[in-house]
Amino acid sequence: MAHLVVSQVSVAVPIGSDLSLRRSAFKVSNLNFQDKSWAPVLTFDLKANNSRLRSQHVTCMSVQQTSAPKVTVSPLELEDPNEPPLNIYKPKEPYTATIVSVERLVGPKAPGETCHIVIDHGGNVPYWEGQSYGVIPPGENPKKPGNPHNVRLYSIASTRYGDNFDGKTASLCVRRAVYYDSETGKEDPSKQGVCSNFLCNSKPGDKIKITGPSGKIMLLPEDDPNATHIMIATGTGVAPFRGYLRRMFMESVPKFKFGGLAWLFLGVANQDSLLYDEEFTKYLQDYPDNFRYDKALSREQKNRSGGKMYVQDKIEEYSDEIFKLLDNGAHIYFCGLKGMMPGIQDTLKKVAEQRGESWEEKLSQLKKNKQWHVEVY
């Protein structure tokens, strides 16, 4: 079992990075995991000024874990229910959980900041892969004085066992919402996203009010362990897919032995914006017959027409293969900003027409067969 000290998180630091500016915040330590000794890593004290995270690139502790054989998880009673837990805690009576850690996921050249946030729910708010938590940020709702803020939903980025494999934590992947003045082009601090900034600014030990879990559309179907799962994500929409992939390739789950194909398409701005890339790359090395990983970097890659590379361009690139997999029963999932869907739908329609098929009929059949899963926001 991996144990995470609340005040510290082990992170990998890019070779050649300037440690002189951070010497006071880091110290070298060995990481012991599954009775194995790992190479020394740098430990970042998250009790230090959290604002430093905004200018540093650190990698999740979980990346260290991906090098291990499959991990034993507990409690296995989490596998017993036949139906997913739903809305155990509601907005009027939320559960008060505790922040374990906050880590910056992206590099210095990424536009914006995305954080990996681990929350301790003590095993009291169980969930399944593909579900969401609601978060109620502290303070008053400016539109309803005297009332709390509205609930914000976040897809859970961990399996039901959490990043510590003990069933007591959940992880969120959160992009800090900031707004820019249209005239000056500069960030306007008075219009920051309330909840995302609360989460990204949190420190270990801080309390957080959560609701849920909610959602059934993105649950991972496990009736056929040899099924094909095609996952298409933009940005933080990769969250539920991280949970799927950890369950498939990292955890030793007696009731679920994955032997199918998982194919992830991830669209972000550039290399520094990739999320959980080390985890996914490790799966590619360890399970080359069961995992495929394609990246669309809109600011660094060009599509066939010479324009920016988006996920729909990658879909078009592999369209024949994707359509054949769908014809054979593959599940396809979409998660991310709702603006991703029109371009993807247009691409799929164009490909269907080139194949002499009606996209409307095909989509209707995919939905009827429960192969089509969409969660956009």
Q: What distances in angstroms separate CA 340 from CA 72, 266, 346, 355, one per listed residue?
A: 37, 12, 11, 23
User: Rounded to an integer, what distance in angstroms lies between the CA atom of residue 375 and that of residue 377?
Assistant: 7
Check if 335 is active-site.
Answer: yes
Q: Determine if the peptide bond prior to 225 is cis (ω within 30°).
A: no
Q: How far out from the chain centre does Cα 370 lie?
A: 23
Q: For residue 72, what are its two tokens?
A: 């034993």
Check if 155 is active-site.
Answer: yes
Q: Of how many residues is the chain composed?
A: 377
Of 127, 133, 154, 283, the catalytic one is 154
Check if 77 is active-site.
Answer: no
Q: For residue 44, what are its two tokens?
A: 């970042």
Any idea of the CA torsion for 104, 58, 161, 282, to the nearest 10 degrees? Answer: 130
User: Is residue 166 within 8 Å of residue 126, measured between CB atoms?
Assistant: no
Quote the Cα angle for 323-324-330, to 5°.
Answer: 80
Of 155, 158, 273, 298, the catalytic one is 155
Cα distance between the two ends of the chain? 35
User: Rounded to an integer, what distance in angstroms lies between the CA atom of residue 21 and that of residue 2?
Assistant: 30
Q: For residue 212, what are its two tokens?
A: 């849920």
Any idea of the CA torsion for 199, 219, 129, 89, to the nearest 10 degrees? Answer: 60
Place of tokens 């990481």: 31
Of 115, 173, 200, 335, the catalytic one is 335
The stretches of 266-358 forming alpha helices (DSSP H) are 277-286, 311-317, 319-327, 340-354
- List, in order, residues 6 or more apart from 85 with CB less than 8 Å away: 126, 127, 128, 131, 213
Residue type, 377: Y
Check if 279 is active-site.
Answer: no
Catalytically annotated residues: 154-155, 335, 375, 377
